[in-house]
């Protein structure tokens, strides 16, 4: 099995682990690109056009983290290869008129990905090079640091605008990042923030003017985290995150049932259908 450190610089890593529920190696590796750098890896989401988090995309990200941790990778920069978009969040088509089996797999895989990334021993930096609504914002918040490209992109948890409710673990992640009051307001309003606004409320840590600067700043940020003794850094992170992680770990089944029941209600299905239509009409 190839290790992250043994492959040629910038070479795309294959996905090697087999699982009955997981997608095939070929389909997973086309969604997420892993590049080895000196002592860390760049994880680029490349599901065109908007990196929507479909079941396959979520599993590809999960599988990438499994491989990287197994290969003793110490840190990652999570970013996007889709111009102008970090991630459009959960793939709305997964929740609209779904089959029960697929909807269950979808949510359960998302829970797994959140537990992996939010609780990762690796140092993690999100390089948010475009829009990051809802699930896209969640992915970024799972990282230890967020660098955002300044410009017209928006970031935030906009679930209420779709007539849906961010689950408790989204809320916990938000509260741990920007605090209770800002979260309470932004969750209700479904606020999407400009990079400047996101910086002001602590949703992102640094802004960069262009991609060249962004890469350098993200690398420097990751190196700063990696200079700290790994165990001390990880356990300190867990002091903040462990309650939320424990909570979901202990209530996965109930959370899954709540999501499935909620998603299948007529009101939610109607709202999602209208939202999909409004996205399609734009084009």
Q: Is 279 in the site for ligand L434P2JQ (CB under 6 A)?
A: yes
The interface with ligand L434P2JQ within residues 55-84 (CB under 6 A) comprises 84
Q: For residues 211 and 228, which CB has a smaller minimum distance to ligand L434P2JQ in the complex? A: 211
| Catalytic residue check, 158 | yes
As a whole number of angstroms, the distance between CA 201 and CA 178 comes to 6
Task: Report the nearest approach of ligand L434P2JQ to the CB of residue 43 (Å).
Answer: 19
The interface with ligand L434P2JQ within residues 126-145 (CB under 6 A) comprises 131, 133-135
Compute how many residues bind ligand L434P2JQ; rule: CB under 6 A: 28
β-sheet bridge partners, residue 108: none
**Residue choice 23, 52, 62, 124 for contact with ligand L434P2JQ (CB under 6 A):** 52
Q: Would you state the structure tokens that stand for residue 69, as one six-digit string?
A: 């941790």
Task: Report the nearest approach of ligand L434P2JQ to the CB of residue 123 (Å).
Answer: 25
Tell me which residue has its CB nearest to ligand L434P2JQ. 89
By annotation, the residues acting in catalysis are 90, 135, 158-159
Binding site for ligand L434P2JQ (CB under 6 A): 49-50, 52, 84-85, 88-93, 131, 133-135, 158-159, 162, 164-165, 167, 258-259, 262, 279-280, 282-283
């Amino acid at each position: 099995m190839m290790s992250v450190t043994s492959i040629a610089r910038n070479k795309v890593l294959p996905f090697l682990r087999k699982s009955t529920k997981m997608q095939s190696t070929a389909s997973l590796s086309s969604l997420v690109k892993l590049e080895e750098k000196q002592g860390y890896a760049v994880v680029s989401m490349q599901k065109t056009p908007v990196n929507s988090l479909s079941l396959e995309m979520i599993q590809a990200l999960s599988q990438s983290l499994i491989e990287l941790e197994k290969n003793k990778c110490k840190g990652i920069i999570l970013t996007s290869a889709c111009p102008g978009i970090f991630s459009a969040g959960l793939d709305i088509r997964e929740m609209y008129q779904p089959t029960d089996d697929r909807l269950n797999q979808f949510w359960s895989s998302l829970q797994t990905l959140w537990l992996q990334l939010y609780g990762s021993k690796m140092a993690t930096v999100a390089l948010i090079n475009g829009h990051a609504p809802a699930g896209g914002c969640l992915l970024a918040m799972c990282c230890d640091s967020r660098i955002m490209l300044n410009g017209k992109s928006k970031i935030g948890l906009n679930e209420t605008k779709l007539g849906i409710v961010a689950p408790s673990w989204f809320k916990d992640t938000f509260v741990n990042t920007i605090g209770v009051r800002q979260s309470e307001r932004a969750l209700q309003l479904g606020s999407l923030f400009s990079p400047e606004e996101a910086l002001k409320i602590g949703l992102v840590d640094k802004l960069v003017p262009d991609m060249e600067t962004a890469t350098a700043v993200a690398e420097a940020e990751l190196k700063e985290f990696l200079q700290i003794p790994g165990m001390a850094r990880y356990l300190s992170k867990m002091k903040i995150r462990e309650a939320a992680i424990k909570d979901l770990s202990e209530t996965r089944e109930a959370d899954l049932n709540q999501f499935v029941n909620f998603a299948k209600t007529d009101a939610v299905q109607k709202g999602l259908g209208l939202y999909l239509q409004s996205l399609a009409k734009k084009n």
